Each structure stands twice: as C-alpha cells, then as structure tokens.
Amino acid sequence: MQMNYNESQTRKNLMRAFAGECQSRQRYYQAALIAQQQKLIGLERMFRFTAEQEERHAMVFWKLMKAGSGSTVDISAGFPADVFDEIQQLLDASANEEDKEFSKVYPDFARIAREEGFTEAAEKFSMIAEIENIHRARFQYYAGLYKADMLFRSNDTEQCWMCLNCGHIHKGSEPPAECPVCSSARGYFIREEEAAFTSCDVVG
Ligand SMILES: [Fe+2]
Ligand SMILES: [Fe+2]
C-alpha cells in the first residue's frame, strides 16, 4: 500500500536525487570547460554528453515530485565539493561519485520507495542507478587512458581515429598532430569506436 506522499521518505529522496543530478550536470559542464581549455576536445564532448544525461535524470525525478507541488521539501544531504582543475582529478572524482550513486545511494532510495509503495519512483531509482554505473565505467575508462598517457596512443597499429571536427578518419597507432583535412589539433581525435553514429567499416 502506498503511504501518504507528503509524509514519505521518498519525497525527500526524490528532492535529494534531483539536487544531486543538477549538481552532477553542473560539475560535468565545468569539467568540459576545463577540458576545452586544454584542447582535449574528445574529453570535453564526453563530459558534455554525460552532463546532458544527468540533466535528463534530474527531469525524471522532478516530474515524480508533482504530488508535492506547492510545498517546500527540507533535505539534508552530502554533496561533493570537488572543485578540481586537473583532468585526472576530474575523471577520478566523477567515477567515484557515479560509483556511490550506483552502489549505495540509488539502491537505498529504490528500496525505501518500494517499501513505501512508490513503485514508479522505485523503478526510476533502480534504472538510473544502472545508468550511473555506465557513467562510472565511462569515466574510469578515460581516467585509465589519461593516466597511462594513452588518450592519443594505441597498441593497435590499425586503430582508427576520428577527427571530431570534420569526421576525417586516420588509421595508425596515433592520430596525426594536426588533422590533414581541417587542421584541427590532435585533441580533436578520438578512437573511432568511441564516436557515436559512425562506423570504421567504410574506410579501406
Ligand atoms: Fe544521473
Ligand atoms: Fe551519472
């Protein structure tokens, strides 16, 4: 049976989740700007891409709070004050936060929502937890490449690299220092398999 929404813990947890998602979005936008300043355009896009997904998560939780419209929800919660300007710190801290959301915060919120009878909220908490795990893996992947200085290096001499500016594909263990088509710097190149909506198959 569903308990009264305004007396529920789920009401507070939805507001916590909403606040958390808005902050994640903002943190990743900040990180994107730092990557952009360092001409690491692949990382910039990755942070923006993830930031937009956090924005959508915020909207999902926002809509679930409709039953409490017109009221104010007081919450206490811990939020990360990770104001970093090093790429490695940003990637590591982001992976860490995602891991907490995936492994602890949202599973707890889902369980409480289920106990209180808020099935839809429980499902959204669980499903968004799974997405946060994908985000965790994404950040960890790039943190690993960055740490190993492999962002622009591959052990595969047949690696395809895509210029994010013009779409040029380069094959080799490293992308060129400058795109031969549009002259963009190396920071525009990503591994082709990391690019959305494309395939290396057409390149001979
Ligand atoms: Fe999220
Ligand atoms: Fe996330």
**Listed residue (188, 187, 164, 161) closest to 175, CA to CA:** 161
C-alpha 49 – ligand 1 centre gap (Å):
12
- Identify the three-state secondary structure at position 165: coil
C-alpha 137 – ligand 2 centre gap (Å):
10
Question: What number of helices (H) and strands (E) belong to the chain?
Answer: 5, 3
Q: Structure tokens of 158? A: 């047949």
C-alpha 179 – ligand 2 centre gap (Å):
32
**pLDDT value of position 199:** 61
C-alpha 115 – ligand 2 centre gap (Å):
25
**pLDDT value of position 115:** 98
- Identify the three-state secondary structure at position 129: helix
Q: Residue 1: pLDDT band by 50, 70, 90 thresholds?
A: confident
The span from the CA of 47 to the CA of 14, in Å, is: 24
**pLDDT value of position 13:** 98
C-alpha 21 – ligand 1 centre gap (Å):
5
Q: Residue 10: pLDDT band by 50, 70, 90 thresholds?
A: very high
C-alpha 129 – ligand 2 centre gap (Å):
8
The span from the CA of 135 to the CA of 143, in Å, is: 12
Tens digit of each residue's pLDDT (9 = 90 or more) over 31-82: 999 999 999 999 999 999 999 999 999 999 999 999 999 999 999 999 999 9
Q: Residue 167: pLDDT band by 50, 70, 90 thresholds?
A: very high
Average pLDDT (5-18) is 97
Non-local (6+) Cβ contacts of 182 within 8 A are 163, 165, 166, 168
Is the pLDDT assigned to residue 174 strictly greater than 60?
yes
Tens digit of each residue's pLDDT (9 = 90 or more) over 116-159: 999 999 999 999 999 999 999 999 999 999 999 999 999 999 99
C-alpha 132 – ligand 1 centre gap (Å):
6
- Please say whether the beta carbons of 24 and 89 come within 8 A: no
* Ligand nearest to the Cα of 20, by number: 1
Domains of the chain (ranges plus CATH)? Answer: 5-147 (1.20.1260.10), 160-202 (2.20.28.10)
Give the percent of the chain with pLDDT over 90: 94
C-alpha 4 – ligand 1 centre gap (Å):
26
Non-local (6+) Cβ contacts of 78 within 8 A are none
Tens digit of each residue's pLDDT (9 = 90 or more) over 86-109: 999 999 999 999 999 999 999 999
Question: Within a 13 Å sphere around the CA of 39, how many CA atoms are in the beta-carbon half?
Answer: 8
C-alpha 109 – ligand 1 centre gap (Å):
14
